[in-house]
Structures are given as C-alpha cells and as structure tokens.
C-alpha cells in the first residue's frame, strides 16, 4: 500500500475552486496527458454521493481502467472517489484498490486544494512482487505524485486565468 498528499495554493475563493472541482467532466481529461477517458454515470451527469465514475489513464506508464464511486461528499470541503482498478502491463493484469480525496480549505488568504491519493495491492505473491517493482524499479509512487500534482496545477491555472475558459469570479 502507498499513500501521499499533494497540495496546491490557489488564488481564488474556495467556492470557485469547489465549483470547478465537482465539474469533473470540464477539467479531468484536459488536466493530465495520461488521462484517456472519463465516464460519469449518473442520471443528471452531476457529481453526488454514490455517483459512479469510470476512468482510463496511465500511471508510471502502466495503462489502467478504474471504476469507482463517490463515497464521501462534504459540499465546499471535500470529495472522495474510491475505486477498483485493473492495470495491464507486459501481458499481466493486476487489480488494485485506489482512491483520492480532494479537499479545500482556506489558508493564509488563499485557498489550498489537496489530493490525498492511495493504492492498496492485493495480498497475493504476484501482487506483492508487482507492488515492489512498481515502487522501487518504476518509481511509481513518485510518478503518481507528479501525476496528481499535474492535475492540481491545471486546476490552479484554470482558476487563476491561465487557461481559456476559467470560471469567472
């Protein structure tokens, strides 16, 4: 298992950050070149407790597909997506439980956006070998940390006006 937190200060009010964050279809695919597909499975297309999201992306160069649900949603503060993912590498498939909690808080006159990311590998011998290889040979945790930081940097850029279409104040 691994877990880490990345943070990004954003010079916008928390309500602006929250509004973009929960509009995941508006930012997620564009926020990282490793993102390939996003499907929000809800009746109205919005994000709510229980909403299912299916994503395809690569982490440390390993392609994967994950389907999960919003398991926690505190409006204006935090949202958690927990998923089961299948990563395929060199003909092998590995199931991994993973998730992210995005949290917003005011800090020193700005808004701080954080992403707490985790992955839990199964307890099989193959999974433990793959986990070791992912962490120590592929440097996967560091690459995943950069992956998450890239998403937060994109959101900051969108909100602070560095990307066309940023929401108005």
Residue 158 has, within 13 A of its CA and on its CB side, a CA count of 23
Whole-number pLDDT of residue 168: 43
Sign of CA dihedral 14, 17, 18, 19: positive
Maximum Cα–Cα distance across the chain: 52
Is 10:113 a contact under the CB 8 Å cutoff? yes
Residues in the chain with pLDDT < 70? 162-169
What's the whole-model pTM score?
0.90
Q: What is the CATH number of domain 2-158?
A: 3.30.530.20
Tell me the CA distances in angstroms from 86 to 26, 58, 62, 153, 158, one per residue in order.
Answer: 25, 11, 10, 26, 30
pLDDT in tens, 89-111: 888 888 999 999 999 999 887 89
Whole-number pLDDT of residue 59: 92
- DSSP state letter for 123: S
Whole-number pLDDT of residue 162: 59
Q: How far is CA 110 from the centre of its chain?
A: 22
Whole-number pLDDT of residue 165: 45
Is 151:115 a contact under the CB 8 Å cutoff? yes
């Amino acid at each position: 298992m691994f877990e880490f937190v990345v943070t990004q200060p954003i010079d916008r009010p928390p309500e602006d950050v929250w509004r973009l964050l929960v509009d995941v279809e508006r930012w997620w695919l564009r926020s990282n070149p490793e993102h390939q597909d996003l499907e929000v499975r809800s009746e109205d297309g919005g994000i709510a407790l229980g909403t299912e999201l299916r994503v395809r992306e690569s982490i440390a160069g390993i392609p994967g597909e994950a389907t999960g649900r919003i398991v926690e949603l505190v409006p204006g503060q935090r949202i958690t997506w927990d998923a089961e993912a299948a990563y395929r590498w060199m003909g092998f498939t590995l199931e991994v439980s993973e998730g992210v909690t995005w949290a917003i808080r005011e800090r020193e006159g700005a808004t701080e956006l954080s992403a707490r990311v985790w992955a839990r590998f199964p307890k099989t011998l193959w999974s433990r070998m793959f986990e070791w290889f992912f962490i120590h040979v592929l440097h996967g945790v560091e690459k995943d940390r950069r992956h998450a930081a890239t998403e937060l940097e994109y959101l900051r850029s969108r909100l602070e006006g560095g990307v066309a279409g940023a929401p108005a104040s």
